[in-house]
């Protein structure tokens, strides 16, 4: 048994396919979904990552074959082993142009308001994009 | 060349160039319609999912008491967002939407509700300007290829007035007037109330079975708080996409009939031109013959 996963944004579909497990960060904390999960509707934390783990990968090597996507804001609905992830903006880690995002992020940080104030949604999304691309900093 | 023939030829030339222009417009619209339709289709899954989610929260959490869902006891003011096109040359598209908006306005007026109009698209804005009617908000420049950021802008403006109380200039209801894209041949102007929420079926695959008993993370009210603005935004975005597809489809049709009409006129004027040319030739021949006869007679008479 595998999960059917759909990652959609208002303009269309970003990714869809089968998965063994889906990991997302909700407002309450991390949420891992396996098959047989009860129906749930959860709000995804702003600027977080969703990991969709390949059905072929063994349970012990989670980090190996997975699809990582950065989500600006959205929610996740699970029912009957179907996971729908609706995001206002989303991008797969593999398609992120890290250097461009980094430039955007730096520009945004430079023009940002006084330190101490919470970061804007764009900044958090840019950070998520970089994390999805595997750029650690 | 006779004066009549010259006039007809002039008309033929002008109609020829008109036909060229309308034909080009038709081809442009025909190539764009495919993309517009694809965008409507691509936005379908998201719209369906978000509708299902909102339905799930509303039906599950019992009597919902959320400002975006609560039925107002008495409405005093309603916002009406009208989606029109930026350019003309699209048949009755704008007239139909504006007529529908006018009908809604009368309807709301009978209920004693004051209407606050918002227009999207240069044609709708011009219509209101010409009649010296106030617009609370106007957006132009993206009617045939709507962007998500524009939809967000509009949603933010509408939700902002909705959040205020009537005394502060807020509204109790938000209506949306746009053109539904039924098929390439049929586009229908429709009125939808987006707020307070009216859950309705979207076309396409029906939701099978009862709504499952969802668990909400973190809690139903928080989920609803986050979902509803997204839902409204999506409704507006989806309506913009449908309107864009409708606009292009109507433009294609209008331009096709204009081209057909021009070609018909061309045929008729070509006939007229031929007739005029023939008449001229006939006249010239009879003049020559008449002249020759007169000459021959005068020579015979002098002998």
CB contact under 8 Å between A40 and B214, yes or no, is yes
pLDDT at residue B283, as a whole number: 93
pLDDT at residue B260, as a whole number: 96
| Both tokens assigned to A61 | 């090597």
Written as one string, the DSSP assignment of A73-134 is SEEEEEETTEEEEEESSEEEGGG--HHHHHHHHHHHHHT--STTSPPPHHHHHHHHHHHHTT
Examine the pLDDT at B282 and tell me if it is beyond 60: yes
By the 10 Å C-beta count (0-12 exposed, 13-18 middle, 19+ buried), B23 is classed as middle
**Residue B206: band (very low, low, confident or very high) from pLDDT cuts 50, 70, 90:** very low
pLDDT at residue A122, as a whole number: 79
Which residues are CB-contacts of B106 (< 8 A; sequence separation ≥ 6)?
Answer: none
**Residue B1: band (very low, low, confident or very high) from pLDDT cuts 50, 70, 90:** low
All structural domains of chain A with their residue ranges: 3-93, 96-132
Nearest to B215 among A27, A40, A88 (CB): A40
Contacts of B235 in chain A (CB under 8 A): none
Q: How far apart are CA B288 and CA B285, in angstroms?
A: 5
How far is it between the farthest Cα atoms of chain B? 125
Report the range of poorest mean pLDDT among A34-38, B109-113, B169-173, B186-190.
B169-173
pLDDT at residue B128, as a whole number: 92
Report the range of poorest mean pLDDT among A22-31, A103-112, B69-78, B226-235.
B69-78
List the single best residue of B154, B217, B241 to mutate versus A (max A Cβ within 10 A). Answer: B217
Nearest chain B Cα distance for residue A33, angstroms:
13
Q: What is the mean pLDDT of residues B267-284?
A: 93
Q: Is B211 in the A-facing interface, judged by CB distances under 8 Å? A: no
Contacts of B46 in chain A (CB under 8 A): 8-12, 86
All structural domains of chain B with their residue ranges: 25-256
Contacts of A41 in chain B (CB under 8 A): 53, 56-57, 214-217, 223
CB contact under 8 Å between A41 and B57, yes or no, is yes
**Residue A120: band (very low, low, confident or very high) from pLDDT cuts 50, 70, 90:** confident
pLDDT at residue B21, as a whole number: 94
Examine the pLDDT at B61 and tell me if it is beyond 80: no
Nearest to A41 among B42, B214, B230 (CB): B214
Nearest to B230 among A6, A40, A88 (CB): A88
**Residue B214: band (very low, low, confident or very high) from pLDDT cuts 50, 70, 90:** confident
Q: Are A22 and A37 in contact (CB under 8 A)?
A: no
Name the phi and psi angles at A32, rounded to 5: -110, 130
Q: What is the mean pLDDT of residues B162-176?
A: 83
- B114-120 sheet: strands from edge to edge: B137-139, B114-120, B77-83, B173-181, B187-195
**Residue in B closest to A75 by C-alpha:** B227
Nearest chain B Cα distance for residue A99, angstroms:
24
pLDDT at residue B18, as a whole number: 94
Nearest chain B Cα distance for residue A102, angstroms:
22
Look over chain B and give the mean of its residue pLDDT values, rounded to a whole number.
Answer: 86
pLDDT at residue B203, as a whole number: 45
Q: Are A36 and A21 in contact (CB under 8 A)?
A: no
Report the range of poorest mean pLDDT among A60-69, B174-183, B215-224.
A60-69
Q: Which of B123, B262, B133 is nearest to B179 (CA)?
A: B123
Name the phi and psi angles at A19, rounded to 5: -150, 155
Q: Give the number of other CB atoms < 10 A from CB of residue B292.
A: 10
Q: How far apart are CA B102 and CA B94, in angstroms?
A: 12
Q: What is the mean pLDDT of residues B189-208?
A: 66
- Residue B88 or residue B266, greater confidence: B266
Segments of B41-120 assigned E as strands: 77-83, 114-120
Examine the pLDDT at B63 and tell me if it is beyond 80: no
CA dihedral B232, B234, B239, B245 (to 10 degrees): 170
pLDDT at residue B205, as a whole number: 45
Q: What is the mean pLDDT of residues B49-73?
A: 72
What percent of chain B has pLDDT above 90? 49
Q: Which residue has the tokens 């319609």?
A: B33
What percent of chain A has pLDDT above 90? 4
Q: Which of residues 115-174 of B touch A (CB under 8 A)?
A: 148, 151
Examine the pLDDT at B162 and tell me if it is beyond 60: yes
Tens digit of each residue's pLDDT (9 = 90 or more) over A45-104: 888 888 888 877 666 655 557 888 888 888 898 988 889 999 988 888 888 887 888 888
Contacts of B42 in chain A (CB under 8 A): 11-13
Q: Which residue has the tokens 């407002």?
A: A27
Which residues are CB-contacts of A125 (< 8 A; sequence separation ≥ 6)?
Answer: A46, A47, A70, A72, A89
**Residue B253: band (very low, low, confident or very high) from pLDDT cuts 50, 70, 90:** very high
pLDDT at residue B71, as a whole number: 67
Q: Are A93 and A133 in contact (CB under 8 A)?
A: yes
Report the range of poorest mean pLDDT among A57-66, A75-84, B37-46, B154-163.
A57-66
Q: Are B43 and B181 in contact (CB under 8 A)?
A: no
**Residue B201: band (very low, low, confident or very high) from pLDDT cuts 50, 70, 90:** very low
CB contact under 8 Å between A10 and B216, yes or no, is no
Contacts of A39 in chain B (CB under 8 A): 212-215
Domain B25-256 grouped into CATH 3.40.1380.10: yes
Look over chain A and give the mean of its residue pLDDT values, rounded to a whole number.
Answer: 82
Which residues are CB-contacts of B230 (< 8 A; sequence separation ≥ 6)?
Answer: A75, A86, A88, B50
Examine the pLDDT at B7 and tell me if it is beyond 60: yes
List the single best residue of A12, A41, A44, A122 to mutate versus B (max B Cβ within 10 A). Answer: A41
Report the range of poorest mean pLDDT among A33-42, B94-103, B255-264.
A33-42
Looking at the domain A3-93, which fold is it? ATP Synthase; domain 1 (2.60.15)
Contacts of A15 in chain B (CB under 8 A): none
This prediction has a pTM of 0.84
pLDDT at residue B25, as a whole number: 93
What percent of chain B has pLDDT above 70? 90
């Amino acid at each position: 048994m595998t999960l059917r996963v759909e990652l959609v944004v208002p303009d269309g579909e970003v990714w869809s396919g089968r998965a063994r497990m889906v990991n997302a960060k909700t407002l309450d904390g991390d949420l891992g979904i396996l098959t047989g999960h009860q129906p749930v509707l959860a709000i995804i934390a702003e600027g977080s990552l969703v990991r969709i783990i390949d059905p072929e990968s063994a349970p012990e090597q989670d980090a190996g074959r997975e699809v990582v996507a950065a989500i600006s804001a959205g929610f996740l609905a699970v029912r009957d082993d179907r996971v729908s992830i609706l995001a206002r903006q989303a991008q797969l880690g593999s398609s992120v142009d890290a250097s461009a995002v980094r430039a955007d992020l730096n520009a945004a940080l430079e023009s940002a308001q006084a330190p101490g104030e919470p970061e804007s949604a764009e900044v958090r999304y840019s950070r998520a994009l970089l994390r999805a691309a595997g750029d650690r900093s | 060349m006779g004066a009549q023939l010259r006039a007809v030829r002039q008309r033929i030339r002008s109609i020829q160039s008109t036909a060229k222009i309308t034909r080009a417009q038709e081809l442009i619209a025909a190539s764009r319609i495919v993309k517009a339709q694809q965008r409507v289709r691509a936005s379908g899954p998201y719209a369906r999912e978000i509708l299902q989610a909102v339905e799930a929260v509303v039906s599950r959490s019992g009597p919902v008491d959320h400002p975006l869902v609560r039925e107002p006891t008495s409405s005093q003011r309603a916002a009406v967002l009208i989606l029109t096109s930026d350019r003309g040359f699209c048949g009755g598209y704008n007239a139909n939407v504006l007529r529908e908006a006018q009908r809604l306005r009368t309807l709301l007026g009978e209920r004693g509700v004051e209407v606050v109009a918002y227009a999207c698209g240069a044609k709708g804005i011009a219509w209101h300007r010409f009649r010296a009617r106030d617009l609370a908000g106007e957006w132009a420049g993206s009617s045939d290829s709507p962007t998500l950021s524009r939809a967000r802008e509009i949603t933010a403006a509408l939700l902002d007035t909705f959040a205020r109380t009537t005394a502060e200039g807020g509204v109790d209801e938000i209506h949306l007037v746009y053109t539904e894209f039924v098929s390439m041949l049929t586009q229908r102007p429709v009125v939808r109330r987006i707020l307070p929420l009216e859950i309705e079926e979207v076309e396409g695959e029906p939701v099978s079975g009862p709504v499952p008993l969802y668990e909400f993370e973190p809690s139903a009210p928080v989920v609803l708080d986050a979902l509803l603005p997204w839902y409204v935004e999506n409704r507006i975005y989806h309506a913009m996409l449908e309107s864009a597809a409708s606009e292009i489809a109507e433009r294609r049709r209008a331009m096709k009939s204009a081209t057909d009409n021009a070609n018909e006129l061309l045929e008729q004027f070509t006939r007229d031109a031929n007739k005029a040319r023939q008449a001229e030739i006939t006249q010239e021949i009879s003049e020559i013959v008449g002249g020759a006869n007169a000459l021959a007679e005068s020579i015979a008479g002098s002998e």
